[in-house]
Structure 1
């Protein structure tokens, strides 16, 4: 063996030859997760990001433009806008989680029962779902708010009720698809009980698209909750909440653009990030 051949033997094999090349997530997906992580940290540990009081302001510092002292500027009462956005994230995000939980749990249960039992129950549930889907989600949520009353929690529950039909239809279609597979038929043929097979085989293999829908609905829920807060159905002043902050700044659009623009950008970024994560989950599920 020549020296050159010995060198060739000792050379490390490239990742492309072994098929073990590492793939990093796309930059857009990483930024989306980063945006969601920052929003969650705002909600859980707001003191790490701001030391200003979100409720009490300094009147002498009212309507100051964004600066080093106040990164998002101040509002008409001299309150630091960044502090109000950071502290308001707890209400907005928790409302989004409540809305998604209501739609996910109720809709998944209805879709699971309809797709697995079939027959008259399937027809009944799907006709109710069709009626709910025919009504615009915001109008359905507004009807629920009128019945439940105002407040962030009630608004979140109302938004969740508006998303039940979408979860139920998607879950039902996935359950019907999985229910017809060979391994599910084999589980029933080997003596598996109905609810045991549903829990072990049907439900876990039907949740991929449902989880992707939940990610989309999380962003949509935050947007809807902010919309209702903007209309006055959510949090009440002086408590900070993203939609309420935008509503409070609309009277100063001509002179203090940051009061509506910056909280609005935060809402847009979180909603877009949730949508990007949802698309990633959908592709992985395929």
Structure 2
């Protein structure tokens, strides 16, 4: 008697088995953000060099034990400038995210809860803002406000309002149609009270994940604006400005642009990884 052949190979037999997910990615991302925050809060723990004063005799030295990131054209320690510059980049990114989060969430909450003409009007404005490239919109705002670190942060935040408004409006519409919200209205709850107690808290999960992503995007946008000359002014040790100052020596002193650029890339990727992790956790809670 012939034995029946087993159906499916190893791939089909292991199809229903859940494999443990690697946790190294989020841990490494949080470690990068934690180190960067410590740079901003207590830079003296990481470097003893002055970020503004240089030694002309030590200019354009490559990385070594004494200067881990090398020195710039006037003999300033590049690692010290990167560490002390983190406070400018991170604070600017926080201001940008706060502007976009507060303004966008408020617009999305009003549009999604009110509906009708107000919803149509707000979303048409959002569509117009989304059709404009973020960098162009930020440059337009800077032209109106003038250059500077704070103005650049506000400009980047204005550019992210549309993304926050669109996402928060979609979440508010979803939560607004749930049974417990209808029950809250049916039991005599006021419109503002129901929005504050039920709709807003249950629609903030994806918005917070977007805020983590926008934090990295804001750092990249602020660095771009500083590179173009619309952000921090010399000799401020801001990350984008450091890259801009080192581009004239790219052929002979690669570390002046490569190492600050690597720091920016690492922070942006870490923020994006944290955003995906937060979004995945919110998705599990909503399931």
> What's 1:73 paired with?
70
Q: Partners in 2 of 1:28 and 1:172 — Cα distance? A: 31
Q: Which of 91, 116, 119 in structure 1 is aligned with 2:116?
A: 119
What residue is the counterpart of 2:97 in the other structure?
Answer: 100
Task: Choose which of 50, 54, 59 in structure 1 pairs with 2:47.
Answer: 50
Aligned to 1:259: 256
Tell me which of 56, 59, 63 is aligned to 1:62. 59
After TM superposition, give the deviation of residue 239 of structure 1 in Å. Answer: 1.1
Match of 1:132 among 129, 136, 139: 129
Q: Does 1:248 align with 2:245?
A: yes
Map of 2:230 onto structure 1: 233
* Aligned equivalent of 1:193: 190
Structure 2 distance, partners of 1:154, 1:97, is 13
1:84-99 equivalences under 5 Å are: 84-99=81-96
Q: 1:122 Cα shift? A: 0.4
Equivalent in the alignment of 1:150: 147
Structure 2 residue 232 is matched with structure 1 residue 207: no
Cα deviations across residues 199-245 of structure 1 (Å, max 9, x unaligned)? 11000000000001001100000000000000001111111000000
SS of the equivalent of 2:243 reads helix
Distance 2:247 2:272 in 1: 27
Decide which of 172, 175, 178 is 2:172's aligned counterpart: 175
What is the TM-score of this pair, normalised by structure 1? 0.91
Structure 2 equivalent of residue 36 of structure 1: 33
Q: TM-score, normalised by structure 2?
A: 0.91
In structure 2, distance between residues paired with 1:25 and 1:56: 44
Aligned partner (choices 260, 267, 275) of residue 272 of structure 2: 275
Deviation at 1:154, TM superposition (A): 0.3
Using the TM superposition, give the Cα deviation of residue 24 of structure 1 relative to its aligned residue in structure 2, in angstroms: 9.3
List structure 1 segments (4+ residues) > 2 angstroms apart after TM superposition: none
Q: Could you tell which deviates more after superposition, 23-32 or 183-192?
A: 23-32
Q: What is the RMSD computed on CA atoms of the aligned residues?
A: 1.0
Q: Displacement, 1:112?
A: 0.1
**Corresponding residue for residue 79 of structure 2:** 82
**Separation (CA, whole Å) in 1 of partners of 2:118 and 2:179:** 24
Structure 2 residue ranges without an equivalent (≥5) = 1-19
CA distance in 2, matches of 1:102, 1:217: 11
Report the Cα offset of residue 42 of structure 1: 0.4
